[in-house]
Amino acid sequence: MNRLKRALLLAAAGLVLLGGCSSEAGSTRSTETTEAQIRRVICIGDSNTYGFDPYNFGARYGADVRWTSLLETSEREVVNLGVNGATIPRELELDQMRAQLASYLPAELVIVMLGTNDILCTYPADTCVERMDALLSAIKDEAPEAAILLIAPPATPLGDAASRQHFSAEYAALTDGYRALAERRGIRFADAGGWNIGLGPDELHFSAEGHAAFAAAVEALLTQEGEE
């Protein structure tokens, strides 16, 4: 089987599903904490933000597993805008993203991790970076007071040896492009490729341990930066 066709079939099996948006809020917040004290974090991403469970196809990890919900505290609300199969929004999709984002404002921080599906659909890394630049502009226009954390997703190369080599190179280029983009824009950047994120049997979606490791790494960043 053609290496890219095989990779795309694998991607479709685990990533291209109907998804939705949800707030992780409510599990750990104290009733004594006032709304003014709550720090809202909005997370934009794909199935690994949504919480796709690769061990139960079509299911979603519980709130006790998803990295977004693990970030919740009595003073921090996390809004999960992860959608299965999501790619970086194209120009015609940016208005929809703005409207969705606006419904959850104000927020202190917007975390963005997209690009996996774009790479697996064989879009070149430089195209992904251009689209991410436009998305970041849309976020900044809609939420000018919010800080932004851009995360390069961990590499999930699929297929035979040649396909894996191709995807690995594209992920590396995507990471470099995101890093340069974040530096130019003066926003935070993190490379999840260095976080040793565990994957499920499909080699594409985070395992429960992967979600825990991802949450710990993001928490460390938030604590270090004071979330502002």
Element holding 111 (H helix, E strand): strand 109-113
Strands 109-113 and 22-23: unpaired
Domain for residue 27, yes or no?
no
Number of H helices, E strands in the chain: 8, 6
- Cβ(173)–Cβ(128) under 8 Å? no
CA distances from 50 to 20, 53, 161, 213 (A): 8, 9, 29, 16
Q: How many domains does the chain have?
A: 1
Read off the pLDDT band of 161 (50, 70, 90).
confident
Query: How many residues in total does the chain contain?
Result: 228
Domain for residue 25, yes or no?
no
Closest-CA residue to 159 (of 1, 2, 3): 3
CA distance 199 to 115: 17
Domain for residue 65, yes or no?
yes
User: What's 205's domain CATH number?
Assistant: 3.40.50.1110
Domain for residue 185, yes or no?
yes
Does the pLDDT value for residue 102 go beyond 50?
A: yes
Domain for residue 28, yes or no?
no
Q: Residue 96: which domain range? A: 3-20+35-225
Domain for residue 15, yes or no?
yes
Give the three-class secondary structure for 80: strand
Burial tier of 140 (Cβ tally within 10 Å: 0-12, 13-18, 19+): middle
Read off the pLDDT of residues 21-70 as tens digits, 9 standing for 90 and up.
455 644 444 334 445 568 999 999 999 999 999 999 879 999 999 999 99
pLDDT over 90 for what percent of the chain?
Answer: 74
Domain for residue 111, yes or no?
yes
Peptide bond preceding 124 in cis form (omega within 30 of 0) = no
pLDDT over 70 for what percent of the chain?
Answer: 82
Domain for residue 214, yes or no?
yes
